[in-house]
Amino acid sequence: MDIAMLGTGSVGRTLATKLVAAGHSVTMGARAAGGEAATAWVASLAGSGDPRAGTARQGTFADAAAFGEVIVNATSGAHALEALDRAGPAHLAGKIVIDVSNPLDFSRGFPPMLTVSNTDSLGEQIQRAFPDAHVVKTLNTVAAEVMVDPAGVPGGHTLFLCGNDPGSKAVVLALLGDLGWPSTDVLDLGDITACRGTEAYLLLWVRLFQATGTRLLNVRVVAA
């Protein structure tokens, strides 16, 4: 598929590299075209000798969103709404927006707080701001390394998915398979309001990170 990766941080670069390796074409979007991180990402693929490297491109948020059939929001939560606005509502309409960001607020240091929680969530804010997009929230409960290599954490473990459109969730489930997630490890939590749960979980995740000392962690849901 043609995929827009909004955000040039480690999450965006890690996801984009894996998606290209899986056969997708990815345009990485940033506030301005030709930025250091996106340019370096394109160059690193070109230098790798991968015959598919030509499918990795970069541009503005709007360039990327215009290109993508699926748009991945991998910006920091604090900038997500602004980035999607720069991408352009017309470029999002009718498309799947995979939101992998978290509304983290590090203004008081670590562990972070959330900028929105409890009665609302960033995923819902994005869906409300872009009502013609099909927002699917997933991947936000694991670190970038785990997003693209779930087998790196031993044993089966669970990835959450939510959104209002069943067809869009099915497409995302297939993309998650390309990242390495067996569909049996992906748990559909229902509509976009379930983001209140998966985003609030970050407040536990940071404590699990402190207790285990590794970002290579996740939880497995077990039920009788």
Binding site for a second copy (CB under 8 A): 111, 113-114, 117-119, 152-155, 157-158, 160, 162, 187-190, 194, 196-198, 200-201, 203-208, 210-212, 214, 216-224
The nearer residue to a second copy, 3 or 186, going by C-beta atoms, is 186
How far apart are alpha carbons 81 and 203 in whole angstroms? 21
The nearer residue to a second copy, 16 or 104, going by C-beta atoms, is 104
φ and ψ at residue 7, rounded to 5 degrees? 115, 135
CB of 27: closest distance to a second copy in angstroms? 32
Query: Cβ atoms within 10 A of the Cβ of 151, count?
Result: 11
CB of 109: closest distance to a second copy in angstroms? 12
CB of 172: closest distance to a second copy in angstroms? 16
How far apart are alpha carbons 120 and 103 in whole angstroms? 11
How far apart are alpha carbons 81 and 99 in whole angstroms? 11
CB of 10: closest distance to a second copy in angstroms? 17
The nearer residue to a second copy, 1 or 114, going by C-beta atoms, is 114
CA 123 vs. chain centroid, Å, equals: 11
The nearer residue to a second copy, 63 or 124, going by C-beta atoms, is 124
Q: What is the dihedral of CA 185, 99, 208, 193, to 10 degrees?
A: -80
